[in-house]
Structure 1
Amino acid sequence: MFEARLVQGSILKKVLDALKELITDARWECTSTGMTLQAMDSSHASLCGLLLREDAFEKYRCDRQITLGMNLGVMSKIMRCASNDDIITMQSEDDPDTLTFKFESKEGERDSEYEVKLSDIDGEHLGIPDQDYSVTIKMPSHELARICRDLSQLGDTLEIAVTKNGVQFRTEGDAGQGKVNLKQVTNADKEEDNISIDMEEPVSLTFASRYMCFFTKATPLSPTVQLQMTKDSPLVVEYKIGDSGHLRFFLAPKIEEDEN
């Protein structure tokens, strides 16, 4: 038996809104310690990893490990049937063919139930090794969303360069070029408005703008976002989900072609 009751049902809606345009089908791995999801986009350019620990749920039961294969587009449509403040409960048997969603209003005057057919989805869990990063940036998530949106108007790539002077986001295209410079901020009125730049050595990497814009669809999940970079390695973009999980995106840098 699997049962997970999420009082803040909006968390699940926000996760799906962040993933549905990037990933079509995904495997939700459920164990006694929580739920995880790992999937690559169709072009295999980016990887996403979701963790929701058991303490994210008011009630959580998973008698044995199960895999729930679902189309995220269908799941997102079901989520639209829930109000933002609804309590969401997911239930299935140990060898599931379907997953049941129950939506309850906070006052208990309304409840609804939907059943979704599950599917077998190929995929294997990729072991992502722990790594030391040369640069860790923590900043307001809405600020990263704005930068990616604005600079994507001019170019297809986004260069992120970190030096002792701060971090620069830069793009260049046929129509022109643009850049945004950020410096460290430690005394903002709200802690989530601070900008922290931890640098062991300067790093400059270039990424596809469209994927960066996809990642920032997770902005509603967290007021802050963390970026980690090191030379010749994928960028890690992480949104914390309270103290009970996270949504991470991994994106390989673009390699400059030789002029020859």
Structure 2
Amino acid sequence: MRSKIFLTKPLSIVRRRGFNSKPWTTPTFPWCRLPYGPMALISTACDRNLTMGMNLASMSKIFRCSSNDDTVTIKAQDDADTVTFMFESKKQEKISDYEMKLMNLDQEHLGIPDTDFSCVIKMPAAEFARIVRDLSQFGESIVISCTKEGVKFSTSGDIGSANVKLAQTSNFEKEEEAVIIEMQEPVTLTFACQYLNSFTKATPLANQVQLSMSDNVPLVVEYQIPDLGHLRYYLAPKIEEDEN
């Protein structure tokens, strides 16, 4: 299944200011970007961009061997066929290292150009997760429509249809509860529920989520993580060929 490939076999690109993770099968798949802030890492040494093919299932097994307070160091060399994860306990009385084989992938990096988006929607992350979860019960795709009246999430399937409309918040006590819409022109795009559901697993990291949309470019789902940076997911919209 394509979703299994997405979850277990990404292509990781290590840069001086963060990590990119994308699947290596097709550019229509989602991928994410995690640049780190000043509080995220103690130190780095990466004098050039480095591409590594990692199996997330294998990497997950390695990270299960660590503790919550451990510091992790990731080390790799140019043209190496392995990557090393070193975990050091908070009091430095325990150091563990694990070596993982890299995947030999021949895939060009998918770049996302800077875009002036037609619609930018900021809303509570928990509300977005709830909408995606609820609509996923009715259909396999979610249509997101942004207009001057607000943003509409809709889907349909064998059991019926569902629609959720959000208007821009005029008055709010807490900023994290606000719904803010910046629109240059209306946009309506369709996305696969399974990937949106995967993105919402980042909900505990941030109070708000930002959705940025334009025709013919991927949707950007962004979570701002206090003191650490931000996590961005990119997802290409579905087209008629995908739906048929």
What TM-score comes out, normalization by structure 2 length?
0.83
- 1:136 deviates by 0.2
For 1:247, the aligned partner's letter is: L
1:253 and 2:233 correspond: no
Distance 1:76 1:186 in 2: 43
Distance 1:84 1:34 in 2: 23
Deviations 1:133-155 (A, max 9, x none): 11100112221111111110011
Matching residue within 5, 17, 36 for 2:19? 36
Alignment-derived partner of residue 76 in structure 2: 92
- 1:163 deviates by 2.1
Alignment-derived partner of residue 112 in structure 1: 96
* 3-state SS of paired residue (2:194): helix
- 1:117 deviates by 1.9
* 3-state SS of paired residue (1:62): coil
Distance 1:95 1:68 in 2: 9
* 3-state SS of paired residue (2:237): coil
Matching residue within 224, 227, 242 for 2:211? 227
Distance 1:69 1:115 in 2: 14
Deviations 1:31-65 (A, max 9, x none): 4x233324236464323131334743111112444
Alignment-derived partner of residue 45 in structure 1: 28
Alignment-derived partner of residue 140 in structure 2: 156
Give structure 2 stretches of 5+ with no counterpart.
none
- 1:187 deviates by 4.7
* 3-state SS of paired residue (2:45): strand
* 3-state SS of paired residue (1:169): strand
Deviations 1:157-177 (A, max 9, x none): 211112222111111111111
Distance 2:102 2:37 in 1: 22
Distance 2:172 2:71 in 1: 34
Task: Determine if contact 2:27/2:110 at 8 Å carries over to the other structure.
Answer: no
For 1:128, the aligned partner's letter is: I
* Aligned pairs (5 A) from 1:36-185: 36-40=19-23, 42=25, 44-53=27-36, 55=38, 56-185=40-169
For 1:34, the aligned partner's letter is: R
Task: Determine if contact 1:27/1:70 at 8 Å carries over to the other structure.
Answer: yes
Change (3 A) 1:217 1:109: same
- 1:73 deviates by 1.3
Alignment-derived partner of residue 3 in structure 1: none
Change (3 A) 1:97 1:252: closer
Change (3 A) 1:243 1:46: farther
Distance 1:243 1:68 in 2: 27
For 2:119, the aligned partner's letter is: V
Task: Determine if contact 1:41/1:47 at 8 Å carries over to the other structure.
Answer: no
For 2:211, the aligned partner's letter is: L
- 1:193 deviates by 2.4
Task: Determine if contact 1:50/1:247 at 8 Å carries over to the other structure.
Answer: yes
Distance 2:236 2:33 in 1: 18
- 1:240 deviates by 2.9
- Provide the identity percentage: 50
Deviations 1:71-98 (A, max 9, x none): 1111112112222332212223455332
Change (3 A) 1:110 1:190: farther
Task: Determine if contact 1:192/1:224 at 8 Å carries over to the other structure.
Answer: yes
Farther off after superposition, 123-132 or 92-101 = 92-101
1:239 and 2:203 correspond: no
